[in-house]
Amino acid sequence: MTLLTTWPESGPETTVRRTSDPAEIAAALAPLGVRYEQWPVRPDVPFDADSETVFAAYGPEIDRLNAQEGFSTVDVLGLHPSDDPGFPAKAKAAREKFLQEHTHDDDDEIRFFVSGSGIFYLHVNGEVHAVLCEKGDLLGVPRGTTHWFDMGTAPSFTAIRFFHEEDGWIGTFTGDGIAGRFPDFDTITAGYRA
């Protein structure tokens, strides 16, 4: 289930907002320019589905969003635990990169979660908004918005990524260590799902 938690940027000692109601989440994020939608979940799509399966299952939704936005690239990214001995190092490197606060100067960051989950932390107007996205959630972070993403220490998700620019994901890192002051994916999901 999706969860939005908002704190002052000074730290998580005080919670400004905590809700799992999709309408409240959308209403809270809209003034920030953040797109939040829920798409139908396709139960016949495996959690580790390949691109072809994902595109076939979500074609109408992808086409609708592409008609509105005119993306140059739409792809599928999956990161799931495997027997590959290199997986832990790969997952750790990916997590460390995205855990650093950054912006995107030339593109929005739009993701739809086909399976699994991740948390986008939006640092806007003196607050940090942690948006736990799960299967069926689409989140669009506007270009120029400071944010970071946490997939946890044992990442498992498949997401559709939408890009206006052909270069794909290009982050401009702020150098701020703010991400280290807030509860991470593992902490939030452990408390939420307990």
Give the per-residue pLDDT at 82. Answer: 81
- Asked whether residue 11 is assigned to any structural domain, the reply reads no
147 assigned ligand-binding residue: yes
- Asked whether residue 9 is assigned to any structural domain, the reply reads no
For residue 85, give the CATH number of its domain: 2.60.120.10
- Asked whether residue 104 is assigned to any structural domain, the reply reads yes
Give the per-residue pLDDT at 168. Answer: 63
- Asked whether residue 14 is assigned to any structural domain, the reply reads no
129 assigned ligand-binding residue: no
- Asked whether residue 43 is assigned to any structural domain, the reply reads yes
Domain with 189, as residue range(s), is: 37-118+135-193
123 assigned ligand-binding residue: no
- Asked whether residue 76 is assigned to any structural domain, the reply reads yes
Give the per-residue pLDDT at 88. Answer: 87
Decide: residue 26, CB within 10 A, 0-12 exposed, 13-18 middle, 19+ buried.
Answer: middle
Give the per-residue pLDDT at 153. Answer: 92
Model pLDDT for residues 123-178, shown as the tens digit of each residue: 999 999 999 999 999 999 999 999 999 999 999 999 999 988 776 667 788 889 99
- Asked whether residue 182 is assigned to any structural domain, the reply reads yes
| Distance from the Cα of residue 107 to its chain's centroid | 15
- Number of folded domains that form the chain: 1
Give the per-residue pLDDT at 65. Answer: 96
Low-confidence ranges of the chain (pLDDT < 50): 194
- Cα(103)–Cα(108) distance, integer angstroms: 9
Give the per-residue pLDDT at 53. Answer: 97
- Asked whether residue 23 is assigned to any structural domain, the reply reads no
Give the per-residue pLDDT at 194. Answer: 46
